[in-house]
Amino acid sequence: MKGMMFIDGEYFYQSFQTAYGKTPRVDLSDMIKSLSAESGIDLVRAYYYNSKPPIFSDDELREETLKACGAAEQKLKAQSRNWSDLEHAKQGIAWGRLMELARERINAGGEWPPTDHEFWHVLTAEDVLAKSRYECERERMKFYEALRFRGIKVKLTNLRRDPRGKGTYVQKGVDVFLVSDMLALCYQNAYDAAIILTGDADFVQMVEAVQATGKKVFLAGFKIGQSWELRQTCDGFLELDSTIRKLVPRDALGPQ
């Protein structure tokens, strides 16, 4: 039977971190193939839903961040006596990772600027945090592009500023995207069975609507952070923990 998969990206990301204490390093294409084989469906297409990171969701924030990043790089270039040190460092470690290490030092309350690399003295803590954040969020956007390159349909919403907290954002519209696609494709008879990777009980009614047309819905999720009601409603449960252990080396995963 032909099938489609609908992936709640934020659920997968957050649940993986909760389960293993680290950022996911899983080939989603391999995970999708494994889940499809386990459910016995012939996968037609997989859809991935999430939000763009803050800098790529908020034009004002992006403009401020790019301005700060440009200023930081100009400060370094202006220090000709330090530039060779910077280039030497970049040969051994990526610029983004270098800034990530600097950010970790600042967040941990370490001395700034550090004394072990002279070229850091021209940068303020704000410079480092802005550049590090941009590099991190740009990597997330590259990840989405990599999924598209592998044939996964990626749908992204913009985060929205949370009026309750300064500088905080909330995800809106992702569930709507997923529900509208799954129902529309169902009524178009684009699939006979669907796999939904999520843990949210809000999807129960949608699952029942799809099942009412005679189609099957399998739930893929982690053992923790899973809605029992949603699990009971679906036609079968595909445990992600066992799938991931098959795909990721044991020493790359922390204890669950």
79, 99, 134: which is the final residue of a domain? 134
Task: Work out the pLDDT band at 226, boundaries 50, 70, 90.
Answer: confident
Residue 215 covered by a domain: yes
Residue with the two structure tokens 């009524």? 187
Q: Residue 37 and residue 43: Cα distance in Å, rounded?
A: 9
Residue 106 confidence (pLDDT) = 67
Whether residues 170 and 243 fall in one domain? yes
More confident residue, 86 or 235: 235
CA gap 206, 16 in Å, rounded: 24
Per-residue pLDDT at 114 exceeds 80: no
248 and 169 in a common domain? yes
Confidence of residue 101 (pLDDT cuts 50, 70, 90): low
168, part of any domain? yes
Mean pLDDT of the chain: 82
Please tell me the total count of domains within the chain.
2
Residue 78: partners with Cβ closer than 8 Å, 6 or more residues away: 122
**Residue 44: band (very low, low, confident or very high) from pLDDT cuts 50, 70, 90:** very high
CA–CA dist 115, 123 (Å, integer):
13
Task: Report the share of the chain in percent with pLDDT over 90.
Answer: 44
pLDDT, position 256: 44
Task: Give the C-alpha distances (Å, rounded to integers) separating 101 from 74, 111, 112, 217.
Answer: 20, 13, 12, 44
- pLDDT score for 119: 55
What's the average model confidence in pLDDT over 238-249? 84
Q: Looking at residue 92, what is its pLDDT?
A: 44
| Mean pLDDT to the nearest integer, 13-23 | 81
Domain match, 180 and 241 both: yes
Do residues 165 and 104 both lie within one domain? no
Average pLDDT over residues 64-72: 82
Predicted pLDDT at 80: 47
C-alpha 112/C-alpha 106 separation (Å) is: 7
The predicted pLDDT at position 60 comes to 87
**Residues of the domain holding 118:** 59-134
Residue 37 has pLDDT above 50, yes or no: yes
